[in-house]
C-alpha cells in the first residue's frame, strides 16, 4: 500500500512551497506530501488519489483563495477523502468562519497564519491530527492482525482491549475475509484457537487472555517497586489526573488499571463540552493525551490487572491484585469508577458479547455498517454513541424509558439526534427480551405505558443505562452507601454508621474511613459524573495525599 498523503493548498506559490517543505522535513518518511496552488488543482489531485485507492490522511488549506475558499474546498473534499483530517490556515479576521466550519463541515482544527516557527505552532497540531488518523486506520499503520468471529465474546474482548489501549490492529473475520480464513488454516484451523492474534515478530497467540495479550505486547502487568508514595486504582479521568499531579510533584506513583486508560469516558465517541477543545475530542484521544502526560512525569502504569482487595499493614496500604500480585503504598487513591448497570431482560446475559454490548468504543461503529442498531439509554453517553453509530449504520433506534429525551440529555445532543435522518427515538419504551442462535438476531421492544410489544430484527444492541460503582474490592473498612458509592470527608460524620472515622483530626475532603485512602471521580458519593469534575477530584486528591504523607 502506498504511503498516506498529506495535501497542502495555498494560492501563494512561496507559501505553498514553504508549507510542503516544512511538512516533508518532518513527516516525509511516513507520508507523501503533495502541494496544490488552487482549489481546482487540489480537487483534481484528490479525485486521482481516490481512483487509485490511495489514502489521504490530512488536508491543509488556506482560507482566502480565489474561486473557492478553504472551507468550500474542505467541504467538497469529503467526496474523495471522507476520512481525511481537515486543517484550515486562516487570518485572525476569519476566525468566525473557521469556528462555524467546526459544526458545518467537521473541521478538525484551524491555525492562524503565519505558522512560524513550525516546531512550536504547526507540528504539534499536525501530529495530533495524524495521530488520530493513524488510530482510525489500523489497516494502514499496523502489523498486528486479529483473526476471529465477529460474534465471539472473546474476540470482542481482545479487540476492545487493543482499541482502548491505542494499539492499532487489522481485524480479519474468519467467515467473511479470505485472508482471515487462510491465516486460520495456516495456524491449524482449530476453532478453539480463535481469536488468533498475530504479532509481527512473535509466535501466534491462540485465544489469549487479556493479560497474556498485554504481556506479549510488552505492556506492564506487574508493579516494579516494593513501595510507592501513592497507588491510584483506576485509570479514568480522575485516576489519570491524580497520576499527573502526583508524579509531577515528585511522588513515586503507580496507576493500576483493569483494562485500559480512560475509564468509561474513554469509550465516548465525542466529548464536546470539555473546556479547551472547541471541536470536541473522543474519549480515546483524551485518554491518550492524559496518558502521555502521566508517562512523561514518570508514573508507572500497570495494565490488565483487576484489584480484588485492600489491606492495612501498619502505615502501609496494600492493594491486592487478582492472582498473586500486590502493590504496597503509603497512600491510595480510589478512582475505580463505575460500570454500566446490567439490563434485566430475558436472553440478554446469554448474548452478551455476541451482539449485546455494554458501552461502545468509537471503533465499534465501523462494524455495524449498513445494519440496524439498537441503543438503550437516554443520557449523554448514549447520545454520543448513537451519533457515532449513525455514521455507519443503516438505521439507529434509540430506546428510552422516559417520555422526553430532553429530560436526561444535553440540548445540543438532542438537537443533533432529532435532525439526523437515520436515527429513530422510541420514548416510553424498554427491551423486554433478546433472542438468537449463537448471536443476537431479534429483540422484543415493549411500550411501557400500554404494555404492547413488537418483535424486531436486530444484530446489535448497545446498552447505556446508568452506572454502578466498582467498590466491592474495598471490603468492610471503607464506608459506602447502599448503592456502593464511597463516603468521603463530611459525609463520614453525616451519613456513615459503620465503620466510622477513627482519628481525632477531621478527615480530608476526599478521605475515606481508612486514613490515607482517598476517593476521586465517579466512585465517590454525590460526584457530578462529568469528566471535568473527575479531573478536578483527581487533582484535589493529591493535595490531600501530600498533607497526609506530611503528617506521618
Whether residues 301 and 176 fall in one domain: no
Whether residues 474 and 457 fall in one domain: no
Residue 223 lies inside a defined structural domain of this protein: no
Tens of each residue's pLDDT in the chain, 552 residues: 578 999 999 999 999 999 999 999 999 989 999 999 999 999 999 999 988 888 999 999 999 998 899 999 999 999 999 989 999 999 877 888 888 888 888 899 999 888 888 888 899 899 989 988 887 776 665 678 899 998 899 998 999 898 888 787 888 999 888 988 988 988 888 888 899 999 877 788 999 999 999 998 888 999 999 999 999 999 999 999 999 999 999 999 999 999 888 888 877 777 888 888 887 777 788 888 899 899 999 999 999 999 999 999 999 999 999 988 999 999 999 999 988 889 999 999 999 999 999 988 766 787 888 899 999 999 998 999 999 999 899 999 999 999 999 999 999 899 999 999 999 999 999 999 999 998 999 999 999 999 999 999 999 999 999 788 999 999 999 999 999 999 999 888 777 677 889 999 999 999 999 999 999 999 999 898 889 999 999 999 999 999 999 998
Whether residues 472 and 332 fall in one domain: yes
The C-alpha atoms of residue 386 and residue 393 are separated, in whole angstroms, by 10
Whether residues 332 and 473 fall in one domain: yes
Q: How far is CA 35 from the centre of its chain?
A: 34
Residues ≥6 apart with Cβ < 8 Å to 4: 30, 31, 32, 54, 55, 56, 57, 133, 137, 140
Query: Quick one: residue 540, left, alpha or beta (phi over 0 = left, psi -120 to 50 = alpha)?
Result: alpha
Whether residues 85 and 205 fall in one domain: no
Q: Which of 410, 435, 465 is the last residue of a domain?
A: 465
Q: Which of 138, 173, 195 is the last residue of a domain?
A: 138
Whether residues 439 and 482 fall in one domain: no
The C-alpha atoms of residue 388 and residue 192 are separated, in whole angstroms, by 33
The DSSP result for 86-99, as a single string, is EEEEE-GGGHHHHH
Residue 68 lies inside a defined structural domain of this protein: yes
Residue 222 lies inside a defined structural domain of this protein: no
Sheet (strand 32-36) strand order:
32-36, 5-9, 56-62, 85-90, 109-112
How far, CA to CA in Å, does 288 sit from each of 151, 163, 295, 477, 511? 28, 11, 11, 34, 28
Give me the residue label for grid cell 469534575.
Answer: 533
**Burial category of 192 from C-beta neighbours within 10 Å (exposed 0-12, middle 13-18, buried 19 and up):** exposed
The C-alpha atoms of residue 231 and residue 253 are separated, in whole angstroms, by 6
For residue 374, the domain's CATH number is 3.50.50.60
Residues ≥6 apart with Cβ < 8 Å to 2: 32, 52, 54, 55
Residue 317 lies inside a defined structural domain of this protein: yes
The model scores a pTM over 0.85: no
For residue 183, the domain's CATH number is 3.40.30.10
Closest to 84 (Cα-Cα) out of 41, 143, 42, 120: 42
Whether residues 326 and 358 fall in one domain: no
Q: Which of 138, 169, 185 is the last residue of a domain?
A: 138
**Domain limits at 331?**
230-339+468-551
Whether residues 444 and 404 fall in one domain: yes
Whether residues 335 and 245 fall in one domain: yes
Alpha-helical regions (H) of 53-152: 70-77, 95-104, 118-121, 123-136, 138-141
Residue 224 lies inside a defined structural domain of this protein: no
Residue 433 lies inside a defined structural domain of this protein: yes
Give me the residue label for grid cell 405505558.
Answer: 449
Residues ≥6 apart with Cβ < 8 Å to 509: 488, 489, 490, 540, 544
Closest to 386 (Cα-Cα) out of 355, 354, 412, 422: 422
Whether residues 376 and 297 fall in one domain: no
Count structural domains, the chain.
4
The C-alpha atoms of residue 154 and residue 116 are separated, in whole angstroms, by 49
SS3 label, residue 244: helix
Whether residues 494 and 540 fall in one domain: yes
Whether residues 189 and 152 fall in one domain: yes
Residue 344 lies inside a defined structural domain of this protein: no
For residue 37, the domain's CATH number is 3.40.50.2300
Residue 91 lies inside a defined structural domain of this protein: yes
Amino acid at each position: 500500500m502506498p504511503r498516506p498523503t498529506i495535501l497542502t493548498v495555498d494560492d501563494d506559490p512561496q507559501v505553498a512551497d514553504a508549507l510542503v517543505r516544512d511538512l516533508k522535513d518532518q513527516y516525509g518518511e511516513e507520508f507523501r506530501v503533495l502541494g496544490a496552488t488552487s482549489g481546482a488543482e487540489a480537487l483534481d489531485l484528490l479525485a486521482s488519489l481516490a481512483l487509485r485507492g490511495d489514502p489521504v490522511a490530512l488536508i491543509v488549506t488556506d482560507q482566502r483563495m480565489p474561486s473557492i475558499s478553504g472551507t468550500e474546498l474542505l467541504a467538497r473534499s469529503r467526496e474523495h477523502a471522507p476520512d481525511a483530517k481537515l486543517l484550515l490556515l486562516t487570518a485572525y479576521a476569519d476566525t468566525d468562519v473557521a469556528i462555524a466550519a467546526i459544526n458545518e463541515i467537521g473541521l478538525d482544527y484551524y491555525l492562524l497564519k503565519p505558522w512560524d516557527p513550525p516546531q512550536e505552532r504547526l507540528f504539534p497540531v499536525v501530529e495530533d491530527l495524524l495521530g488520530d488518523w493513524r488510530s482510525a486506520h489500523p489497516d494502514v499503520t499496523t502489523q498486528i492482525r486479529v483473526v476471529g468471529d465477529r460474534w465471539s465474546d472473546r474476540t470482542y474482548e481482545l479487540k476492545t482491549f487493543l482499541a482502548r489501549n491505542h494499539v492499532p490492529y487489522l481485524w480479519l473475520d474468519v467467515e467473511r475475509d479470505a485472508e482471515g480464513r487462510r491465516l486460520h488454516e495456516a495456524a491449524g484451523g482449530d476453532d478453539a484457537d480463535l481469536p488468533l492474534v498475530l504479532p509481527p515478530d512473535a509466535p501466534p497467540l491462540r485465544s489469549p487472555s487479556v493479560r497474556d495479550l498485554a504481556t506479549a505486547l510488552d505492556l506492564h502487568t506487574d508493579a516494579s517497586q516494593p513501595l510507592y508514595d501513592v497507588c491510584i486504582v483506576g485509570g479514568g479521568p480522575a485516576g489519570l489526573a491524580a497520576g499527573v499531579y502526583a508524579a509531577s510533584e515528585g511522588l513515586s506513583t503507580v496507576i493500576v488499571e483493569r483494562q485500559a486508560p480512560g475509564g468509561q469516558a474513554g469509550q465516548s465517541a465525542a466529548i464536546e463540552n470539555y473546556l479547551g477543545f472547541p471541536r470536541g475530542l473522543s474519549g480515546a484521544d483524551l485518554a491518550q493525551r492524559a496518558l502521555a502526560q502521566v508517562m512523561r512525569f514518570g508514573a508507572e502504569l500497570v495494565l490488565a490487572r483487576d484489584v480484588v482487595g485492600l489491606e492495612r499493614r501498619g502505615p502501609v496500604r496494600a492493594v491486592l491484585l487478582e492472582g498473586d500480585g500486590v502493590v504496597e503504598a503509603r497512600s491510595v487513591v480510589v478512582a475505580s469508577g463505575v460500570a454500566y448497570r446490567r439490563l434485566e431482560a430475558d436472553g440478554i446475559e446469554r448474548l452478551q458479547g455476541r451482539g449485546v454490548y455494554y458501552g461502545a468504543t468509537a471503533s465499534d461503529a465501523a462494524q455495524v455498517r449498513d445494519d440496524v442498531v439498537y441503543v438503550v439509554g437516554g443520557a449523554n453517553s448514549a447520545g454520543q454513541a448513537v451519533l457515532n453509530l449513525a455514521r455507519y449504520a443503516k438505521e439507529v433506534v434509540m430506546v428510552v424509558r422516559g417520555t422526553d429525551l430532553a429530560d436526561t440529555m444535553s440540548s445540543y445532543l438532542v438537537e443533533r439526534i432529532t435532525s439526523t435522518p437515520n436515527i429513530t427515538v422510541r420514548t416510553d419504551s424498554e427491551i423486554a427480551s433478546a433472542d438468537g442462535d449463537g448471536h443476537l438476531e431479534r429483540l422484543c421492544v415493549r411500550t411501557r405505558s400500554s404494555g404492547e410489544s413488537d418483535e424486531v430484527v436486530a444484530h446489535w444492541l448497545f446498552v447505556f443505562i446508568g452506572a454502578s460503582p466498582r467498590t466491592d474490592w474495598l471490603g468492610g473498612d471503607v464506608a459506602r452507601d447502599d448503592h456502593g458509592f464511597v463516603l468521603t470527608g463530611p459525609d463520614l460524620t453525616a451519613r456513615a454508621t459503620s465503620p466510622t472515622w477513627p482519628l481525632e483530626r477531621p478527615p480530608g475532603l476526599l478521605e475515606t474511613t481508612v486514613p490515607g485512602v482517598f476517593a476521586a471521580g465517579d466512585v465517590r458519593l454525590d460526584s457530578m459524573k462529568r469528566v471535568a469534575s473527575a479531573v478536578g477530584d483527581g487533582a484535589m486528591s493529591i493535595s490531600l495525599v501530600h498533607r497526609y504523607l506530611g503528617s506521618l
